[in-house]
Chains A and B, each alone.
Chain A
Amino acid sequence: MFQIRFHGRGGQGVVTAAEMLSVAAFAEGKFAQAFPSFGSERTGAPVVSFCRIDNQPIRSREPVIKPDALIVQDMTLIHQVDIFAGLSNEGYVLFNTSKNLDELGLGDYLDTFRRERLLTCPATELALEHLGRPLPNAVLLGGFAALTSQVTLESIAVAINERFKGATAERNIAAATAAYQLVLKEEEEFSRATTN
């Protein structure tokens, strides 16, 4: 089982992101489960959502306490919410930021994790560029596909098409694809840096 936790704020499509990811996994014939953190969400309030992906039926109904991956949609949360809670040392994190990870002020905190699995993606900027609106959720899924290989970019496109129609779907797919490529590039830079 692969478990993902999404952190964002109300209005950023945090719940929708988890749902779309589950749809992408489902499209690949996997079992998937997505659910919100069940708060009375208000715009701007911290929101958490969850997704599980497995090759067998998923029975658990507990929240994702030990995630394999985090998607952080809103960087202002990193000093407010214990977003790294339960993340294993082998875990993946995708941050929605145009900054370099070292500029985020997380200090030594990230040293316990595998650095090449902690990547950034300027999803809000990509969303503004492609959609004209700062909605990073579907965009980040493209980056997630590149980071974890849990689902393919094609499946993310299937999920986006199921959720959105026409031009909105196309633009989201274009943005997700751009995110996918940026994250792939980031990964390549890391592996080059490590091999050198």
Chain B
Amino acid sequence: MLRQIEGSRAVAETVAHCRPEVVCAYPISPQTHIIEAIGAMVKEGSLAPCEFINVESEFAAMSVSIGASAAGARAYTATASQGLLFMMEAVYNAAGLGLPIVMTLANRAIGAPINIWNDHSDAMAARDTGWIQLFAETNQEACDLHILAFRLAEELSLPVMVCMDGFILTHAVEGIDVPEQSDVDSFLPVYEPRQVLDPADPISIGAMVGPEAFTEVRYLSHLRQLDALELIPTLASEFASTFGRESGGLLHTYRTDDATTIVVALGSVLGTIKDAVDRRRELGDRVGVVGITTFRPFPFDDVRDALSHAQKVIVMEKAFSVGYGGVLSADVASATHDATISLHSVVAGLGGRAITQQSIEELLDDTAHDRLRPVTFLDLDLGIVDLERARIGSVRRSGPSAENVLSDLGTVASRIG
């Protein structure tokens, strides 16, 4: 049933319908509303049997999830930003042990400077952990992806991270159809672990592996991720037949059939990009959009196919590797290395900087007129940057750049967006 509710609330209810047995969390914005709602459901008894555990850190949250999952319980947690980094050792460990934990990542920037707003730096920091990473475009998809995530995780015995844009999705109130319990039950069978701590059949999990077998163990993880590339589309079509709507999958295309320019992106910004693309289409610009849902494993073949007719590709991403450039851009470049595509990387939306439709339209206009450079930082205030560069050049003790920039900017409270 369609309801006008907050994204976090809808995700919490959906996760509850997935019948998690152990939910462990540590508060960090913007993920808090999800775990607060789940905690209340456990306390009132509507989500049972389930153990809800408040822990002292994200490191403990992931560690409790590891213990619970290894002991055969369906485990869920949620985090963001610094929290993901604080638990990172355990994030790798969960993947290395092959434990099907599902985690919501309410995407948020990473400090310093400390910043609570949305970007994808946190997800990119976990790119190489061995977790499957799915990105939600809307709150509806965020809900649906969690159901798919549990199914996928448990079939492959791998952890899955559902990435949803912090605040932009988590705190948005909109019409969402929270999947019915009966549908979820028919789609998601009871968790049957591949490995479990059982006193009746004792095994050791987590042994040290030396050079004699480490490569093979790692390669098996890689193969399981590649298996996910096969399984994800299958599950998406099964999902569509159970729930009556499309969700999940590897990627989604929008008006790409005759597009000569295609914008590639992850997450909620795809909505604004589609609005901008529609406007450009009205002006006769043949533009389209590719939204990548499955970021890890990276769907090289599907990306290559989706971009095969494009002449120009703009990868718009909310993160970048400092000293290198766009992370997603590098993946897209790798997928299209044998095509004659002009690839542009656009870093946008860092630390909550609003990505406006107008800026995207200007970007597409620049592209149409071959004015777009290989790497662009969208809406960058170069005046402010130059001021600080000049300060650094002229004074030895020039002070902390973040504070200098804020002081150059003056009050920011009056800014909207």
Contact present between A and B (CB < 8 A):
yes
- Bound together, the chains give a CA A63 to CA B269 distance in angstroms of 12
- Contact B356 A65, beta carbon cutoff 8 Å: yes
- Contact A32 B6, beta carbon cutoff 8 Å: no
A41 to chain B, nearest CB (A): 11
Q: Which residue of A lies closest to B254 (CB)?
A: A59
Task: Confirm or deny: A192 has a beta carbon within 8 angstroms of a beta carbon on chain B.
Answer: no
- Contact B168 A26, beta carbon cutoff 8 Å: no
- Contact A35 B416, beta carbon cutoff 8 Å: no
| Most chain A Cβ neighbours within 10 Å, of B30, B168, B173, B414 | B173
**A34 CB contact (under 8 Å) in B117, B174, B274:** B174
- Contact B272 A60, beta carbon cutoff 8 Å: yes
- Contact A62 B417, beta carbon cutoff 8 Å: yes
- Contact A60 B275, beta carbon cutoff 8 Å: yes
* Across-interface contacts of A60 in B (CB, < 8 A): 271-272, 275, 357
Chain B 396-417, CB-CB to A under 8 Å as 1, else 0, gives 0000000000000000011111
Q: Which residue of A lies closest to B352 (CB)?
A: A38
Q: Which residue of B lies closest to A67 (CB)?
A: B416
- Bound together, the chains give a CA A132 to CA B413 distance in angstroms of 31
Q: Which residue of A lies closest to B137 (CB)?
A: A59
* Across-interface contacts of B172 in A (CB, < 8 A): 33-35, 61
A120 to chain B, nearest CB (A): 22
- Contact A22 B174, beta carbon cutoff 8 Å: yes
Chain A 41-56, CB-CB to B under 8 Å as 1, else 0, gives 0000110100000000
* Across-interface contacts of B116 in A (CB, < 8 A): 38, 40
A62 to chain B, nearest CB (A): 5
Q: Which residue of B lies closest to A38 (CB)?
A: B167
* Across-interface contacts of B417 in A (CB, < 8 A): 62-65
Task: Confirm or deny: B4 has a beta carbon within 8 angstroms of a beta carbon on chain A.
Answer: yes
A35-B168, A60-B357 are contacts. A82–B117 as well, Cβ < 8 Å? no
Task: Confirm or deny: A13 has a beta carbon within 8 angstroms of a beta carbon on chain B.
Answer: no
- Contact B271 A59, beta carbon cutoff 8 Å: yes
* Across-interface contacts of B168 in A (CB, < 8 A): 35, 38, 61
- Bound together, the chains give a CA A33 to CA B270 distance in angstroms of 16
- Contact A58 B174, beta carbon cutoff 8 Å: yes
- Contact A32 B272, beta carbon cutoff 8 Å: no
- Contact B167 A35, beta carbon cutoff 8 Å: yes
A35-B168, A58-B174 are contacts. A19–B6 as well, Cβ < 8 Å? yes
- Contact B4 A22, beta carbon cutoff 8 Å: yes
* Across-interface contacts of B336 in A (CB, < 8 A): none
* Across-interface contacts of B352 in A (CB, < 8 A): 38
Residues of B358-417 at the interface with A, using a CB-CB cut-off of 8 Å, are 358, 413-417
Q: Which residue of A lies closest to B269 (CB)?
A: A61
- Bound together, the chains give a CA A75 to CA B61 distance in angstroms of 44
- Bound together, the chains give a CA A15 to CA B356 distance in angstroms of 21
**B175 CB contact (under 8 Å) in A26, A36, A80:** A26
- Contact A36 B167, beta carbon cutoff 8 Å: yes
Chain B 105-136, CB-CB to A under 8 Å as 1, else 0, gives 00000000000111000000000000000000
* Across-interface contacts of A19 in B (CB, < 8 A): 6, 173
Task: Confirm or deny: B252 has a beta carbon within 8 angstroms of a beta carbon on chain A.
Answer: no
* Across-interface contacts of B275 in A (CB, < 8 A): 59-60
Chain B 8-38, CB-CB to A under 8 Å as 1, else 0, gives 0000000000000000000001100000000
Residues of B251-282 at the interface with A, using a CB-CB cut-off of 8 Å, are 268-272, 274-275
- Contact B118 A81, beta carbon cutoff 8 Å: no
B364 to chain A, nearest CB (A): 15
A60-B275, A63-B354 are contacts. A86–B174 as well, Cβ < 8 Å? no
Task: Confirm or deny: B309 has a beta carbon within 8 angstroms of a beta carbon on chain A.
Answer: no
- Contact B171 A36, beta carbon cutoff 8 Å: yes
- Contact B416 A86, beta carbon cutoff 8 Å: yes
B273 to chain A, nearest CB (A): 9
Task: Confirm or deny: A5 has a beta carbon within 8 angstroms of a beta carbon on chain B.
Answer: yes
* Across-interface contacts of A113 in B (CB, < 8 A): none
Residues of B79-123 at the interface with A, using a CB-CB cut-off of 8 Å, are 116-118
* Across-interface contacts of B171 in A (CB, < 8 A): 15, 35-36, 38
* Across-interface contacts of A37 in B (CB, < 8 A): 416
A67 to chain B, nearest CB (A): 9
- Contact A23 B416, beta carbon cutoff 8 Å: no
- Contact B413 A61, beta carbon cutoff 8 Å: no
A36 to chain B, nearest CB (A): 6
* Across-interface contacts of B271 in A (CB, < 8 A): 58-61
B111 to chain A, nearest CB (A): 13
**10 other A-B residue contacts (CB within 8 Å) besides A31-B175, A82-B416:** A32-B175, A35-B167, A35-B171, A37-B416, A38-B168, A40-B116, A59-B270, A62-B357, A81-B413, A82-B415
Sample (6) of A-B pairs whose CB atoms are under 8 Å apart: A31-B175, A34-B173, A38-B171, A61-B168, A62-B356, A63-B417
Closest 6 pairs between A and B when the two form their complex, measured CB to CB: A59-B271, A63-B417, A26-B4, A38-B167, A35-B172, A34-B173
